[in-house]
A and B are shown apart, each in its own frame.
Chain A
Amino acid sequence: MAKRLGPDVPDSFAAYRATRRAGTLTLEVFGMPTALRERPKPFLLPEFCKGCGRCIDTCAKHCIEPGDEIDPRTGLIPVTLNLEACNGCGLCFDACPEPYGLRPQPESEFELQDPEKLFGARAAAVRPRPVPIPPQAVPLPPVAPLVLKGNYASAIGALLAGCRHVFGYPITPSTEGAELMAKLLPKLDGVFLQAVSEVATVNMMYGCGGAGLPCMTFTSSPGFSLMLEGISYMVGAEVPGVFVNVMRGGPGLGNIGPEQADVKLACRGLGHGNTHAIVLAPSTPQEMLDLTRLAFELSFRYRNPVVIAADGYLGQMTGKVVLPDTMVQPGLPDWAVFGDVAHRGNLINSIFLDEKDLEAHNVHLNEKYRRMEAEQRADLFACGDASTLVVAFGTPARMAKGAVEELRREGMRVGLFRPLTLWPFPIAALKSFLPNVKRILVVEASNGQLEDELRLALSKAGVAPPPIESVRHFGGVLPQLAEIATAVRAHSEVAA
């Protein structure tokens, strides 16, 4: 049903109707009779006029005048149109900042009704919803094991996961990842782009991940710090992307030696806001490959960034790497802003102006984090009957494994608990054999960041831990096998 304008609204509509009836005029152009439609005259629904007056001076025919009545619907004073002198020059359309302000008259007759209907139903409104295209597994023929540096193994893991877009800024000891990608991606018609900084890097990932494609970067601690704002945006806007942080010594410029002091950042400090991301902790070149592949899968499963917390040693370490028997051809998620007709209706965004909306979004994210907590993974080495438990990840975990093996040969009941996910901390696996454990020794290259994760997980699980001791090194020095073994022996004496 037609709706009437309020009685206090200047009836620009009447003017509109009058000019519409002016009809068409016929001209002779080069002797050919041509029917030309008259140039459209302006049309304005007063409630969409903000009364800015920018149109007034534009009209040489003085058709537009400042209004003098407040429109109660807007509290603004719309202009009035008197189009008798109007020649349809159109200049006023271009002077009006409002999309539904001054506009050419619609081409067909219409009833004044819902502005939506008035401005015409469009294909957009009936566009089909985009259909998610799932990733596909492509079989890989068997090949001989490769001999790879950790950083290279991670890069190849990414390629196998279907990643063809890598953005990065060089930083030791992660750079080989970017270098290998720069060499290989052109052969696969992929893209490696060296950004102006880590800040630009993470935002390129926001764009590429937002377009629905798997993308990644290699960085190290100072670079990771710079990426945190962008990671918060990615978490907020639910954009996937993989960050391989080959941690180095800090704080500040520190050095290029291995450290594990970004655990706090990755697990508790991913930029501002209520953020979380799965943090994977490889300890061999083989795991650099395997966990990087997994990272992409998790990143898309949860629409969330995933962090790989490697250390400088691991990035540089060369070892044997066996390839999996499949690789991935990525699909395209339905939520992507890809830049095509199917995905035109999508939005990648982390701003929610209304407090209730933002709270609801946070609730949604928290619910997702809760589901992500099911992704706990750990490697248990000789844990079953262990009374002393060494907890370590990354390269220190390898040293610890050597120590545990040595101590087992001496007949000591010692095991190694190695989280493969630092967040979520694999508390479920730990709880299963913790009752036997008399002491825990946390071995790490940080001032207790892993231990904090352990303690927090225990506390949240309501488990009173046995005494926790530590072997810690910093600044590029890693705990060594002999030192770990000595510490365990000392503990065990106390425990006996």
Chain B
Amino acid sequence: MSVFYEKFERHSGGAGLKGHATHYCPGCGHGLVHKYLAEAIEELGIQDRTVAISPVGCSVFLYYYFDVGNSQAAHGRAPAVALGHKYANPDAIVISYQGDGDLASIGLAEIVSAAQLGTPITVIFVNNAIYGMTGGQMAPTTLIGQKSTTSPEGRTAMMGQPMKMAELIAGLDGPVYVERVALFDAKQRMRAKKAVLKAVKLQAENRGLAFVEVLAECPTHLGMTPEETERWVKEKMLPVFPLGVKKDAVPEPWFHLEKPHFDAESLLAAIGASAESVPRFAAGFPTHLGGTDIALKLAGAGGDGAQTAAMLLTRAAIHEGYDATHIPSYGPESRGGTSYADVHVSADEVLSPASPHPRILVAFNAPSLAKFAPDVPPGGTILYDSSVVKDPPPFPAGVGAFGVPFTEIAVDLGKAMVKNIVALGALQAATKLFPEETFRTAFRLALKDKCAMIPLNEEAFSWGMRAVPPPAS
């Protein structure tokens, strides 16, 4: 039994008898389950790579006893902690050990989701039909009629029916093996031992998640002798919690994870970083637009492409060596509602990224135009989609406004989607924000994985530019 510590140092420092005795009450089922688990670990020769998760409940001190890697989890969360360990080290054999309050009440979401995920871990579920540690309150598995301190007259239907976890878990696709066993006689104990061994073995073989529910005795809170409790489990629990294999669908070993790698090239490739710098075309910052910080706003509905256009603007500016920011904001329904983008282009550092008073406004629909046009300061520029805005509002004094049929042009080109590129072309013609080639480079780069789209975008941009009358100088 070398899987148990030679001396239980963590049990009150291992002083006196505590160094070799558990903290469990006489006759407690937990001790038996511990023993079978220890034997399984030993038999499979996996002690060094085993990690046991101690739950909250009477078995919170499981780590006193098992000479394996130990981790103590919050109430109900052992399966989540187990998954954290398993994904950290797929070679580890991770045992999630839980009581019925822990697993079938507070931790339902964790166990059900872990079971459906099916990642090979071993779940040992000790169902003693009561809350042991906190002093005998009703558990989700407490029987109808069973008294507990929170069902003093016995559990009634008003308190819900007992949870049949083995059946529930077996109903999921994820687990490979689910069995309910008991401890009340030698035959049951033999089966329990075998089930625990199998559940650990299935993990060691990378076959999947195994779940063993053990009907266990809590003599203390049933107020009976251990012997009477054994009988009680047999006579009272069994009819509600029938024993047996609930699922046994052992597949071929499937679980395998490579070790993460840390080489610079693959990381840079993954994030799309490249040593090539993008050519610059601008001779200097477009100060003709008033200062060294230009605020823009692109506003429309979801699907208008305002955010994509804003992103292209931002990239174009950064390619030119300026600083730039883009902040999207969406209406409440997030997709399909309003979609506004604030963009700043700055000679050195964007200080304030919001655009409450945009120097340049691009409006894709009438509400956006009506909402933001009044905020454009004198000297500013407004571009709007004249295909949908038939009746533009009066514009603030000193603002240049251009109605360009973004949508019509895009539809004529065969794809309404490119209306945002038409808009960028118009913006370019109306403001001379950057050299034309800066924009063209930005969308060519953005489309480098969809090269077929480049000619269409080139054309959309050109048509947008042409649609703005040359400034009357």
B397 at the interface (CB under 8 A from A): no
Q: Mark A344-364, 1 if CB is under 8 A from B, else 0.
A: 111111110010000000000
Binds B, one of A3-11, A135-143, A368-376, A432-440: A135-143
CA distance A94 to B1 in the complex (A): 12
By the criterion CB–CB under 8 Å, are A203 and B110 in contact?
Answer: yes
By the criterion CB–CB under 8 Å, are A144 and B274 in contact?
Answer: yes
Contact (A339, B264) CB under 8 Å given A53-B227, A54-B27, A203-B110: no
For B54, the closest partner residue in chain A by CB is: A349
Contact (A122, B26) CB under 8 Å given A144-B278, A346-B69: no
B276 at the interface (CB under 8 A from A): yes
A-B contact count (CB 8 A): 346
Partner of B260, one of A138, A190, A285, A481: A190
CB distance from B243 to the nearest CB of A (A): 17
By the criterion CB–CB under 8 Å, are A204 and B83 in contact?
Answer: yes
Chain B contributes a number of interface residues (CB within 8 A of A) equal to: 115
Contact (A398, B352) CB under 8 Å given A50-B26, A211-B84: yes
CA distance A279 to B279 in the complex (A): 39
By the criterion CB–CB under 8 Å, are A99 and B35 in contact?
Answer: yes
A200 at the interface (CB under 8 A from B): yes
Partner of B271, one of A138, A156, A213, A317: A156
Binds A, one of B14-22, B423-431, B447-455, B458-466: B14-22
Binds A, one of B163-171, B205-213, B321-329: B321-329
Chain A contributes a number of interface residues (CB within 8 A of B) equal to: 118
Binds A, one of B172-180, B185-193, B366-374: B185-193
Binds B, one of A15-23, A158-166, A422-430, A448-456: A158-166
**B396 contacts across to A, CB distance below 8 A:** none
By the criterion CB–CB under 8 Å, are A119 and B70 in contact?
Answer: no
B85 at the interface (CB under 8 A from A): yes
CA distance A399 to B354 in the complex (A): 8
A229 at the interface (CB under 8 A from B): yes
B225 at the interface (CB under 8 A from A): yes
**A313 contacts across to B, CB distance below 8 A:** 327, 353-354
By the criterion CB–CB under 8 Å, are A94 and B327 in contact?
Answer: no
By the criterion CB–CB under 8 Å, are B327 and A97 in contact?
Answer: no
Between A121, A124, A480, the greatest number of chain B beta carbons within 10 A of the residue's beta carbon is seen for A124
By the criterion CB–CB under 8 Å, are A339 and B311 in contact?
Answer: no
Q: Mark B83-108, 1 if CB is under 8 A from A, else 0.
A: 11111110111100000000000000
Q: Mark A315-329, 1 if CB is under 8 A from B, else 0.
A: 011111001000111
CB distance from B10 to the nearest CB of A (A): 8
By the criterion CB–CB under 8 Å, are A94 and B352 in contact?
Answer: no
By the criterion CB–CB under 8 Å, are A338 and B92 in contact?
Answer: yes
**A120 contacts across to B, CB distance below 8 A:** 2, 6
Which label, helix, strand, loop or mixed, suits the secondary structure of the A interface? Answer: mixed
CA distance A125 to B5 in the complex (A): 9
**A190 contacts across to B, CB distance below 8 A:** 260
**A212 contacts across to B, CB distance below 8 A:** 88
Near A by CB (< 8 A), chain B positions 9-60 give: 10, 12, 16-17, 19-22, 24-32, 34-36, 38, 47-51, 53-54, 60
Between A139, A189, A229, the greatest number of chain B beta carbons within 10 A of the residue's beta carbon is seen for A189
CA distance A296 to B266 in the complex (A): 21
CB distance from A175 to the nearest CB of B (A): 11
Partner of B20, one of A48, A76, A211, A402: A48
A80 at the interface (CB under 8 A from B): no
By the criterion CB–CB under 8 Å, are A144 and B60 in contact?
Answer: no
By the criterion CB–CB under 8 Å, are A172 and B334 in contact?
Answer: yes
By the criterion CB–CB under 8 Å, are B32 and A207 in contact?
Answer: no
**A412 contacts across to B, CB distance below 8 A:** none
Partner of B72, one of A48, A124, A351: A351
CA distance A196 to B350 in the complex (A): 39
Contact (A207, B81) CB under 8 Å given A98-B22, A317-B353, A337-B70: yes
Contact (A189, B261) CB under 8 Å given A76-B26, A97-B27, A103-B1: yes
By the criterion CB–CB under 8 Å, are B60 and A351 in contact?
Answer: yes
Contact (A144, B324) CB under 8 Å given A121-B6, A190-B260, A199-B109: no
**A196 contacts across to B, CB distance below 8 A:** 109-110, 112-113
**B49 contacts across to A, CB distance below 8 A:** 339-341
**A159 contacts across to B, CB distance below 8 A:** 267, 270-271
**B249 contacts across to A, CB distance below 8 A:** none
CB distance from B47 to the nearest CB of A (A): 7
B63 at the interface (CB under 8 A from A): yes
Near B by CB (< 8 A), chain A positions 212-269 give: 212-213, 215, 229-230, 233, 237, 255-257
Q: Mark A76-106, 1 if CB is under 8 A from B, else 0.
A: 1000000000000001001111111001000
By the criterion CB–CB under 8 Å, are A402 and B351 in contact?
Answer: yes
B390 at the interface (CB under 8 A from A): no
By the criterion CB–CB under 8 Å, are A200 and B85 in contact?
Answer: no
Known: A199-B80, A320-B318, A339-B50. 10 other contacts (CB 8 A): A94-B190, A98-B21, A99-B31, A100-B20, A147-B318, A147-B324, A204-B87, A318-B325, A319-B350, A402-B351
**Which 4 A-B pairs give the minimum distances between C-beta atoms?**
A207-B84, A339-B92, A97-B31, A402-B352
Which residues of A line the B interface, CB within 8 A?
47-48, 50-54, 56-58, 73-74, 76, 91, 94-100, 103, 115-116, 119-122, 124-125, 138-147, 156, 159-160, 162, 164-165, 167, 172, 184, 187-191, 193, 195-197, 199-201, 203-213, 215, 229-230, 233, 237, 255-257, 285, 313, 316-320, 323, 327-330, 337-341, 343-351, 354, 395, 398-399, 401-403, 405, 478, 480-482
